[in-house]
Amino acid sequence: MFKLAPSLLAADFWNLGPQVEEVVRAGAEVMHIDVMDGHFVPNLTMGPGTVVKTLKKHCAGLDNPPILDVHLMVTDPDFFVQPFADAGADWISFHIEAAAHAHRVCQKIKAAGCQSGVAINPGTPISSLEAIIEDVDFVLVMSVNPGFGGQKFIDHTYRRLARLSALIDAADNKPFIQVDGGVGPGNIAQLVDAGMSVAVAGSSVFGRPSPGEAAAELISLARKES
């Protein structure tokens, strides 16, 4: 079943609590949390003791607490896994480009009680995932270059999704596919058709006057296709 993962990178942090509640009430089942170290990507965002821990605490009181999906855009993912798991992350993904020992990072994430994901940048061949595809719960395909929100969707992502789907079809393990970057009303149905199960959407949700209405629209468009 399709899930929408609004990205907090695009949220209004002055009104973060009400905005999260609004999109969760509209049907968003996942909250996507971008963690950037200012080194792997040219931006610096949040740590485990601030947003993640606070979200976990306050979302516990909602009727349908969202999955907290932490995307590590960091040079040393090994270092960050346990702190974010302790803060309340449910899913943790790391970049294949940043992990010298990707299998070990996967093991560490799972040992911490989280679902393990591997992320891949637009310029990295899908074939680089062959050695890790049996060990992950999901693959996060970047459809923009990571580091900043509001970027334009890279069209060759569709070809990459076709290659990834073929790789998954040939594997015993069947991770789900998440897509991050430039996802909106104009392409979400096509992405579902291409194999996406979870859509990360930042500006197309929190950049709209009513994030709840925007989230509901994206969910409706995606589930009609699925």
Residues labelled as active-site residues: 34, 180
- For residue 40, the surrounding DSSP H or E stretch is none
Cβ–Cβ under 8 Å, residues 225 and 192: yes
67 Ramachandran zone, left/alpha/beta (phi>0; psi -120 to 50) = beta
Phi, psi of 69, rounded to the nearest 5 degrees: -110, 105
Cβ–Cβ under 8 Å, residues 11 and 20: yes
- For residue 69, the surrounding DSSP H or E stretch is strand 67-73
